[in-house]
């Protein structure tokens, strides 16, 4: 079966099980899985039963797909994503996003953990992305273009939807939460960056660094989904403090921020539900 057919089959399988088209898909990054617990009328879709659905091997990525409602808004929460560094191909990394696009989900929200590159950021800060720098060395759209999925050369000027950034900022201010704006740069990983690499990307305009999200965002935009990404700063990027970097430290910081991030996402979905048809 072709990739396209596999995507269509997975979309139908999920659709048959959840029986609504979600308005918003929310993809939760490392240690940020708690939003799924707040869904009303939750239905878990066992992804193990979906051919080609890539299963995360990274610690802190539960790999669950849960559909339900937040208030009146039907949402689909994906707990855990897969990463290029796990050995998955670009097509595999993009598969869940393709399925969401194929289902007709109009809004794609994602969260991730990042290192703070800007001197204005500290661990625990929440940042809404307004742009990215792809240093992962690949583009998930490489290869033959499926014209009915999207154009060969998609625009990336308006990748991070301005109305959704405004909604995120409004939601944050209603919660008394500080939300900064930033540019996210992604390396392939899985080694953390060197101090020189961090200085380089700061010079290039990056505020945050991570190892994920960009491939999915490119695919979501290819399929004309409206994208919003909230990043949570887990650590000062390499070389900024006299300290070693560990995944445990990232997970610990994300555990502390998970509740705040869930509240922010809930409020964003509520505003979206009330304002955007």
34 is catalytic: no
30 is catalytic: yes
Residue 35 binds ligand HPA, judged by CB under 6 A: no
Write down the least CB distance from residue 83 to ligand HPA, Å: 10
Cβ(272)–Cβ(107) under 8 Å? yes
In sequence order, which ranges of 157-213 are alpha helices (DSSP H)? 162-174, 195-204
Q: Could you give the 3-state DSSP secondary structure of residue 45?
A: strand
Near ligand HPA in 52-111, by CB under 6 A: none
**Distance from CA of residue 186 to its chain's centroid?**
12
Interface with ligand HPA, residue 192, by CB under 6 A: yes
User: From residue 205 to residue 244, what is the string marking binding to ligand HPA with x (rule CB under 6 A)?
Assistant: ----xxx----------------------xx-x-------
Instruction: Indicate which single residue of 67, 79, 114, 213 sits in contact with ligand HPA (rule: CB under 6 A).
Output: 114
Q: Which residue, 43 or 135, is less far from ligand HPA as judged by CB?
A: 135
Nearer to ligand HPA, 75 or 211 (CB): 211
CA 14 to chain centre: 20
**115 sits near ligand HPA (criterion: CB under 6 A):** yes
- What is the C-alpha to C-alpha distance for residues 104 and 98, in angstroms, rounded to an integer? 10
Q: Does 250 bind ligand HPA (CB under 6 A)?
A: yes
Which residue number places its CB atom closest to ligand HPA? 115
Q: Which two tokens stand for residue 158?
A: 């308006």
Going from the C-alpha of 15 to that of each of 88, 91, 175, 233, 236, the distances in angstroms are: 25, 21, 34, 34, 41
- Identify how many contiguous H helices and E strands the chain contains and give both numbers: 6, 9
Is 262 a residue of the active site? no
CA distance linking residue 204 with residue 185, whole number of Å:
9
Tokens representing residue 248 in the block: 């445990």
Q: Whose Cβ is closer to ligand HPA: residue 4's or residue 247's?
A: 247
Binding site for ligand HPA (CB under 6 A): 113-115, 192-193, 209-211, 234-235, 237, 245, 250
* Catalytic annotation, residues: 30, 61, 83, 85-86, 113, 211-212, 235, 247
């Amino acid at each position: 079966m072709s990739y396209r057919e596999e995507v269509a089959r997975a979309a139908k399988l999920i659709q048959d099980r959840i029986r609504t088209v979600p308005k918003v898909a929310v993809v939760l990054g490392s240690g940020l899985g708690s939003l799924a617990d707040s869904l009303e009328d939750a239905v878990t879709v066992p992804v193990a039963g979906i051919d080609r659905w890539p299963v995360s091997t990274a610690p802190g990525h539960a790999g669950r797909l849960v559909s339900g409602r937040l208030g009146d808004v039907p949402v689909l929460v994906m707990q855990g994503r897969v990463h290029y560094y796990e050995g998955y191909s670009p097509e595999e990394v993009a598969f869940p996003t393709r399925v969401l696009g194929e289902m007709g989900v109009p809004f794609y929200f994602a969260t991730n953990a990042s290192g703070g590159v800007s001197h204005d950021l500290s661990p625990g800060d929440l940042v809404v992305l307004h742009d990215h720098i792809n240093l992962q060395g690949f583009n998930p759209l490489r290869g033959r273009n499926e014209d009915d999925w999207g154009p060969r050369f998609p625009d990336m000027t308006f990748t991070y939807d301005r109305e959704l950034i405004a909604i995120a900022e409004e939601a944050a201010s209603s919660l008394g939460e500080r939300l900064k704006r930033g540019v996210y740069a992604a390396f392939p990983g899985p080694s953390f960056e060197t101090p020189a690499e961090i200085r380089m990307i700061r010079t290039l305009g990056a505020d945050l660094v991570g190892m994920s999200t960009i491939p999915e965002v490119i695919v979501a935009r290819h399929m004309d989904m409206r994208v919003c990404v909230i990043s949570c700063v887990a650590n000062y990027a390499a070389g900024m403090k006299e300290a070693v970097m560990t995944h445990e430290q990232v997970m610990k910081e994300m555990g502390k921020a998970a509740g705040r991030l869930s509240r922010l996402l809930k409020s964003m979905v509520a505003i979206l539900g009330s304002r955007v048809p």
